[in-house]
Amino acid sequence: MTTAAPATADGSAGASTAEASRRTASRRRGSRGHARRRRPGGSTSLTVAMGLMLAYTLIPLLWLAVSATKSNQTLFDSPGLWFGDGFHLLENIRDVFTYDDGIYLRWFGNTLLYSVVGAGGASIIATMGGYALATYDFVGRRVLSAVVIGAISIPASALAVPTYLLFSDMGIVNTPWAVLLPSLASPFGLYLMRVYATEAVPDAMLEAARIDGAGELRIFLTISLRLLAPGFVTVLLFTLVATWNNYFLPLIVLNDPELFPLTVGLRQWDSLAQGGAGAGATPILPLVITGSLLAIVPLIVAFLFLQRFWQSGLAAGGVKQ
């Protein structure tokens, strides 16, 4: 049974109601159509922006890969983004590994040591510290959290000289410890793990484990650490890239070429190339380019293998508190 709207003698009320309904439906259809018309333009602009960012990122990598296949002469005689006469990649790789008694392999091993120990240790410390800040209530917790956030804003280059002076007094300058110890401190990783642990580790689960008689260490190792695994991998990737590309600190605290990482060693080769060294022997410039290409391969492999953990860690850790 339907109830008709009350109308005046001339039916103006019913007519006005019907007209209002038609106008409302027309506005809805218009808004939907307008949204549909705007979507292609917005999608196109976003696609163009992403394409420009992709080109900005990949063009230097393309130049590096193409230039690594050239000889010293074709580096200057051929276009920068196209191959020259012949394919010299294998020869360049052989020269990189054999030049100066294979010093590149030594630099590669040093970089691997600094990165694995430094990034791994920094990730473990950040995971434990972030978990403690997120789950335990203790005196000075807020102050400590504020200090961590403040430490993120301090650039690492500003601490290089004070670090050198401190390590000089300790007698560990020109040793691997001068590079490893600063790498273990990651304020950003600590903050990220604190945010991630706040959302990933339920308080009810911790209370249930404590009621069952589990100790705090056992809870962390058997329950919390599994929940924190994506965040741990995310911090590991960030710190791995930072330590692998670390240049300024090793440049200051190391003076023995046998202890150089790849960043400092390749810069030394580049200085030799700019000075014209190697003119009568092995040209240096192709070695710098090929060595730089080989230096980024481990990072690419690490990201490809750990990408899914990294993405899930960013999604969960980005939840606002």
Percent of the chain with pLDDT over 70: 81
Does 208 reside within a domain?
yes
Residue 241 lies in a domain: yes
263, two tokens: 């960043």
pLDDT score at 19: 59
Residue 1 lies in a domain: no
Residue 3: pLDDT above 50?
Answer: no
Query: Average pLDDT of 22-41?
Result: 54
Identify the pLDDT of residue 280.
46
Mean pLDDT value across the chain: 83
How many structural domains compose the chain? 2
Do both 178 and 281 map to the same domain? Answer: yes
Query: CA gyration radius for the chain?
Result: 30
Task: Report if residue 128 sits inside a domain.
Answer: yes
Whether 254 and 280 share a structural domain: yes
Instruction: Supply the pLDDT for residue 170.
Output: 92
- Residue 95 belongs to some domain of the structure: no
Residue 229: burial class (beta carbons within 10 Å; 0-12, 13-18, 19+): middle
Residues 127 and 266 in one domain: yes
Over 80: is that where the pLDDT of 23 sits? no
Q: Maximum Cα–Cα distance for the chain, whole Å?
A: 110
User: Are 67 and 183 found together in one domain?
Assistant: no
Amino acid code (one letter) for 177:
W
| Residue finishing a domain among 30, 58, 87 | 87
- Residues 63, 80: Cα–Cα separation, whole Å: 6
| Spatial contact of 306 and 236, defined as CB atoms under 8 Å apart | yes
217/260 same-domain check: yes
- Among the ranges given (45-49, 84-88, 132-136, 164-168), the one the predictor scored with the smallest mean pLDDT: 84-88
Contact 244, 111 (CB under 8 A): yes
72 and 152 belong to one structural domain: no
Q: Let me know if residue 93 belongs to a domain.
A: no
Stretch 269-297: mean pLDDT: 80
Q: Which domain holds residue 70?
A: 42-87
For residues 178 and 79, state if they share a domain.
no
Indicate the pLDDT class of residue 158, thresholds 50, 70 and 90: confident
Distance between CA atoms of 228 and 43, rounded to whole angstroms? Answer: 35
What number is the average pLDDT over the span 107-124?
Answer: 95
What's 124's domain CATH number?
A: 1.10.3720.10
Same domain, 265 and 224: yes
Q: Mean of the pLDDT values across residues 132-161?
A: 88
Helix (H, G, I), strand (E, B) or coil at 128: helix
Phi and psi at 208, nearest 5°, equal -65, -40
pLDDT single digits (tens) 96-106: 999 989 999 99
* Total residues belonging to the chain: 321
Residue 29 lies in a domain: no
Q: What is the enclosing helix (H) or strand (E) of 172?
A: none
Answer yes or no: do 179 and 208 share one domain: yes
In a shared domain, residues 77 and 178: no
Residues 73 and 174 in one domain: no
At position 189, the amino acid (one-letter code) is G
**Is pLDDT larger for residue 305 or for residue 190?**
190
Do both 227 and 132 map to the same domain? yes
For position 173, what pLDDT does the model report? 93
Last residue of a domain, one of 32, 62, 87: 87
Q: What is the pLDDT of residues 218-233, one digit of tens each?
A: 999 999 998 898 889 8
In this prediction the pTM is 0.78
Cα 83 to Cα 74: distance, rounded to the nearest angstrom? 9
pLDDT tens track for 242-267: 999 999 999 999 999 999 999 999 99
Q: Which range, of 5-9, 68-72, 181-185, averages the lowest pLDDT?
A: 5-9
Report yes or no on 55 lying in a domain: yes
Centre a 10 Å sphere on the Cβ of residue 168 and count the other Cβ atoms it contains: 13
